Amino acid sequence: MIAILLISSVFIGIMLGKFFGQQKKLAKFILILSAGFLITVCLNEIFPEIYLSGKPHIAFFVIGGVLLQMLLEIFTKGFEHGHFHHPTEEGILPITLMFGLFIHAFIEGIPLADESTLFSPFLQGILIHNIPISFILGAFLFKNKKFNATSWIIIILFALASPLGMFLGKFINPEYQTYFLAIVAGIFLHISSVIIFESNKNHNIDWEKTGAVLLGIAAGFCLHFFHVH
């Protein structure tokens, strides 16, 4: 069921990108709202879990996740937080970008190997995080109305990345799962903070952005209270 939810979140984002991809304000709103939700889940749920686990040197793995995401952005050029600066030919996504996105989603799926509840904050964080990325992906693939078999391959590979990571995680010693979760926490922290802080480059108060962030934070806290009780 978790794998179905992961795949569905990608296809929901793709369809939103198809029909609303040219509406930049909507794309920005979804992206910033997801960032507020993601950073709340990260700080309110994932960080306490990894630090209370008692695993030694866990902070090194969080920092490693931040650095890993920075490395992946050499390939993706910030596609995960709304950027797309790659030169393209006839609307074809660069292989390097797809490689970066696949590795990003694959790693996120590994800590889900032992997940048993559909309302896990970590799982919900990934699902919400998938939608804006898929939105941007769908908007690009449908932009020039050249959607073809290659486009389907790209979508399917991205949709399967996290489920494949989850499948691999079942063969990893459960003792190490917390370290993978810490790496993903670092990835989440980096992406969400970049989205929130770079979306207002002139440093003036942007009430729409602030409202989107607060809405995402509120949703994150609602999930926290639901999960606790």
Residues β-bridged to residue 89:
92
Hey, is 129 helix, strand or coil?
A: helix
pLDDT of residue 5: 94
For the stretch 198-207, pLDDT in tens is 756 565 667 7
Chain centroid, CA 58 distance in Å: 21
Question: What sign does the CA torsion over 131, 134, 136, 139 have?
Answer: negative
The number of CA neighbours under 13 Å toward the Cβ of 125 is 32
Total number of domains constituting the chain: 1
pLDDT given for residue 87 in this prediction: 46
Vertex 178: Cα angle to 41 and 7 (nearest 5): 60
End-to-end CA distance of the chain: 23
Range of the domain at 199: 2-228
Q: What integer pLDDT is reported at residue 36 of this predicted model? A: 93
Which tokens is 127 given? 């699902």
- Burial (CB < 10 A; 0-12, 13-18, 19+), residue 145, is exposed
Reported as a single tens digit per residue, the pLDDT across 66-86 is: 999 999 988 887 777 765 554
* Percent of residues, the chain, with pLDDT higher than 70: 88
pLDDT at 181: 94
Nearest Cα to Cα of residue 107 among 180, 17, 193, 191? 180
* pLDDT at 205 (0 to 100): 63
Question: Which CB contacts under 8 angstroms, 24+ apart, belong to 192-200?
Answer: 192/35, 192/36, 192/38, 192/39, 192/42, 193/35, 193/39, 194/78, 194/81, 195/31, 195/32, 195/34, 195/35, 195/81, 195/82, 196/32, 196/35, 196/36, 196/39, 198/81, 199/28, 199/31, 199/32, 199/82
Q: What is the pLDDT of residues 152-185, one digit of tens each?
A: 888 999 999 999 999 999 999 988 999 999 999 9
Show the low-confidence residues of the chain (pLDDT under 50): 86-92
Task: Report the distance separating Cα 17 and Cα 31, nearest Å.
Answer: 12
Give pLDDT, residue 203.
59
